[in-house]
Chain A
Amino acid sequence: MPYTYNTPAQQEEMLQSIGANSIDELFDLIPDSVKLGRPLNIPPALGEIALTAHMQELARQNTNITDNTCFLGAGSYDHFVPAVIDTLASRGEFYTSYTPYQPEVSQGNLQVMFEYQTLICQLTGMDVSNASLYDGGSAAVEAMLMAINITRRTSRVIVLESVHPEYRQIIKTYFATIGTEVVSVSDKSQLLDALDETTAAVLIQSPNFFGNLEDVATIAEQVHTVGALLVCSVDPISLGLLKRPGDAGVDIVVAEGQSLGTPLLYGGPYLGIMACREEFVRRLPGRIAGQTVDQDGKRCWVLTLQTREQHIRREKATSNICTNQGLFALRAAIYLSVMGPQGMQDVASLCLQKAHYAQRQLTNLERFETLNDQPFFKEFVIRDKQNDVAGLLEKAEDFNMLAGVALGRWYPQLQDCLLIAVTEKRTVREIDQLVEILGS
């Protein structure tokens, strides 16, 4: 028992105080008929040295992106994480604390939440942000549920096919249960045809799953003409250069916040960003920190608007969500603070330039062509005229290179296509090497 203290003698004293003869007696409340009566059939205990060795063995069987060059994206990106983030986020006062139920001894976490909310508003141009949700995908579905509550239109929502396929799957799962129709459209003209007065919301993503930028402002106008809301999933890194969704008429912004200072972690835990227009603040799901004063008039922070939440409203709450992703909101807050306006602009510019260089070099090769000529940010699709995406990926792996994400699993018509992401971390040498390997 590595993490407990009490000696057998102390345990004896404790039992005496309780008035019990044995620890077993404390479990008398549990009927014998349901007691296990045998040891659990799980592996025996490992000490710290043995555990470390065992975990090293498992870790060695994974190809990690530190020892390999990563051009994989599709919603999870290999961006630079400044050292200050790990240093600060690994402080026990941050990561071993909990939801700030007692504001007097949680001002650190509360102020971080407040700063995070402000930073997200500054980045997205939206009026209000919550203190985060689980991930980009569940943030998207929560936004759609929120839009249904706001518009009181329960029959249908529209989702563009260029939204992350897994986000669309999550929406399908949630909405199948509550019986709202999810209409899938492939482009802007289909969207126009599908929009009607019963539509609660439209979900788009920009840059979309293929890396291309949508004409958000025009779509927003069209969506608003039928009284529906526009929910837009964005890449927070792109906002170092691109027009803010708040300036383009978006009603609710969601994003996967992993890019803001969190490593890949095989997909989680990540950070669900959600921000909206002022008038919807009481419909937002999740925790929100607010500014107030204490009884001596000092500025301070508390959890606020809690009457939206499950612990007060129970079945009438805006969501069942209990916590935020505090530790990852902290990481994002540190990231945005340390980057500042210049850093965000520089990161976005580097991604943009390098991705375009890689795309030019690859499509200069006879073997590859682009899927479309729409503008893109840091990610793009190439089509392999020889239709051997699996072979290309395997070959690249031999050179310690993770070349891209094959699209066939989600889009059968794109089974000869590869999605390639280029972040600021990739060097010209790595890009040239990728081009050489894929082209050889």
Chain B
Amino acid sequence: MRNKHATQLIFELSTTGRSGVVLPECDVPVEDIKQLIPASLLQSQRPALPEVTEPEVIRHFTNLSTLNMSVDTHYYPLGSCTMKYNPKRNERIAAWDGFAQLHPYQSEGSLQGILQLLCDLQQMLAEISGLPAVSLQPAAGAHGELAALMVAAAYFSELGEKRTKVLAPDSAHGTNPASARMAGFDFITIRSQADGRVDLEHLKENLGDDTAVFMITNPSTLGLFDDQVEMIAELVHNTGGLIYLDGANMNAILGITRPGDFGADMMHFNPHKTFSGPHGGGGPGAGPICVTETLRPYLPSPAVSFCEETQTYYLDQGSEKSIGRVRSFFGNVGVLVRAYCYIRTHGPDGLKRVSETAVLNANYLLSLVKEFLEVPHGDRCMHEFVASAMPVREATGLKQPAMDIAKRLLDYGFHPPTVYFPLTVAEGMMMEPTETESKQTLDAFAETLRAIVEQSAETLHNAPHTTGIRRPDEVMAARQPIVKWTKTAD
């Protein structure tokens, strides 16, 4: 239960002279610090950190945690984020000394267990994606996109081709264009048709011998599988370009179809979504990438390989064509350990059932929601769908009904869907129930939503009514940024 008195910042709890930790006495002969370090490099005073005790720290942060909605406590259908249950067995295992207390520069001989795990994970991701060559190094999905686009750039450079453009549909995640720019490409937005699929004519107009990569999210951010994908791949491949698959929505197609089989040359996984690494309040994730055999030499190095002769696992520094490192050490291994546990827990049938259940849950929720909200892209979806609150705008005159409904959901103890994304749906509400929610939860959510859309404009617009704070002033926060605490005179 939230403690009503716990409203201070840690700095405001500080009392001079307190400390939360007692360190041991120095057990080696102590030298005068000034003999070891020149005075010009030393600090004249101690860092101005807060001074609090261990119990104060525990109470402060425990109370802060109670201000969050989370998957462990609430239904969290945040579209595109795959907020599924995070298995506790994976948390426990990843924290064992045999995984958590390993230094990245230990000898390979002392790391055979973790190297085997990573090597096997590479193979499993290759099989799930249908793309044989894997790099586990990228630290997040966006980082994987960037690494893969660098791979593409290195590949074209090797071919002696000057390809300057990366294309993606208007429904793409913002990371796609941002990654393209960081990898040195120009970015072109391709229109979607009214039905949410890629506008092939517009794509054709923009394809040419300067096309490097077409990035596609399939299933798309609208929760639709673009059945033109083979044709799109053929068009792009005919110009000599590559297809990148944004793997954000892999939760819909595990064991059902594989990006490598529908024409993708490169992709990333989001193990923190699809394979249930916890989202950690905004990270860490991981962003392993899988590519075709042709692109393998360009992957970031190192990867893990198995030496048949010595029967040992080792860090393979890769070919001279490798783009090199994109991250220090071996990437977000802790997230990968959880992904490995998740895949091993499910096996081939289990992974397929994950996707089947996720798609069943999403379609079921869609069947309930379409009764009172508009769902512009049809009666069927994959693992998520985008509803539109436009009917509520018409009925109530509210300017931003999706926002108002989202805020009202908070009063009923539900985390809202993703709102105003993708940009192609007016008053969009993107709902992704995931496979780990029960029918009862989906029923309760839909019933609540139904009740909310019938409420008065005033009730909606003034929501939330019951949360600790209500509609913070974001404009003020951006106009006069206060991004750290400063001590005010007493």
Contacts and interface: CB of A to CB of B under 8 A. Distances in A.
A437 interface: no
Interface residues of A, number: 206
Given A29-B380, A30-B225, A94 B70 contact: yes
A119 B361 CA distance: 43
Most buried by A among B73, B91, B153, B360: B360
A402 interface: yes
Contacts of A97: 68-71, 279-281
A192 interface: no
Contacts of A321: 140, 142-143
A43 B344 CA distance: 7
Interface stretch (B108-116, B203-211, B392-400): B108-116
Interface stretch (B236-244, B288-296, B434-442, B451-459): B434-442
Most buried by A among B18, B325, B335, B435: B325
B332 interface: yes
B468 to A, nearest CB: 7
Most buried by A among B225, B469, B476: B469
A320 B467 CA distance: 32
Given A40-B127, A66-B97, A290-B478, A342 B19 contact: yes
A30 B407 contact: no
A67 B97 contact: yes
B418 A101 contact: yes
Contacts of A219: none
A292 B479 CA distance: 10
A147 B57 CA distance: 37
A239 B283 CA distance: 26
B359 interface: yes
A268 B329 contact: yes
A344 interface: yes
B278 A96 contact: yes
Contacts of A217: 40
A91 B68 CA distance: 11
A118 to B, nearest CB: 4
Interface in A263-316: 263-270, 281, 287-296, 298, 300-302, 304-307, 309-316
Contacts of A296: 469-470
Interface string A137-155: 1100000010000000000
B197 to A, nearest CB: 10
A281 B27 CA distance: 44
Interface in A174-220: 174, 176-179, 213, 215-217
Contacts of B306: none
Interface in B285-315: 285-286, 300
A125 to B, nearest CB: 9
A134 to B, nearest CB: 4
Contacts of B51: 340-342
A382 interface: no
Contacts of A58: 98, 113-114, 116-117
A109 interface: yes
Interface string A103-122: 11111110110110111011
B428 to A, nearest CB: 13
A353 B28 contact: yes
Contacts of B348: 39-42, 44
Contact of B439 (A13, A106, A136): A13
B9 interface: yes
Contacts of B74: 105
A172 interface: yes
Given A281-B481, A300-B469, A352-B37, A91 B62 contact: yes
A132 B66 CA distance: 22
Given A123-B47, A320-B179, A64 B98 contact: yes
Interface string A339-364: 11111111101101110110000000
Contacts of B484: 114, 117-118, 121, 128-129
A134 B286 CA distance: 10
Interface in B253-289: 253-258, 261-262, 276, 278-286
Given A375-B37, A402-B103, A61 B439 contact: no
B107 interface: yes
B261 to A, nearest CB: 5
A158 interface: no
Interface string B89-119: 1010101111111111111001111101100
Contact of A46 (B330, B334, B345, B469): B345
B85 interface: yes
A14 B143 CA distance: 38
A325 interface: yes
B16 to A, nearest CB: 9
Nearest to B183: A177
A391 B475 CA distance: 62
Nearest to A99: B282
A114 B335 CA distance: 25
B11 A118 contact: yes
Contacts of B52: 337-338, 340
Contact of B360 (A14, A109, A178, A270): A14
Contacts of B360: 6, 11, 14-15, 18, 23, 26
Most buried by A among B42, B146, B352: B146
A240 B142 CA distance: 34
A21 interface: no
A293 B256 contact: no
B416 interface: yes
A65 B103 contact: yes
A165 to B, nearest CB: 9
Most buried by A among B182, B262, B345, B356: B182
A327 B10 CA distance: 18
B150 to A, nearest CB: 5
Interface string A63-95: 111110010101110101010101110111111
Contact of A98 (B111, B279, B345, B437): B279
Most buried by B among A173, A178, A345: A173
Contacts of B445: none
A62 interface: yes
Contacts of B27: 427-428
A272 B254 CA distance: 32
Interface string B245-257: 0000000011111
Contact of B89 (A48, A102, A137): A48
A266 B102 contact: yes
A88 B62 contact: yes
B162 interface: no
A162 interface: no
A82 B103 contact: no
18 contacts: A14-B364, A26-B356, A42-B127, A43-B344, A48-B345, A59-B93, A75-B328, A96-B71, A97-B71, A98-B83, A117-B484, A123-B49, A134-B140, A137-B327, A240-B46, A242-B43, A290-B477, A298-B469
Q: Which 3 A-B pairs have the closest CB atoms?
A: A59-B98, A267-B329, A92-B72
Given A92-B71, A352-B33, 11 more contacts: A55-B96, A58-B117, A88-B61, A95-B278, A138-B326, A178-B182, A304-B481, A319-B178, A323-B283, A340-B18, A341-B46
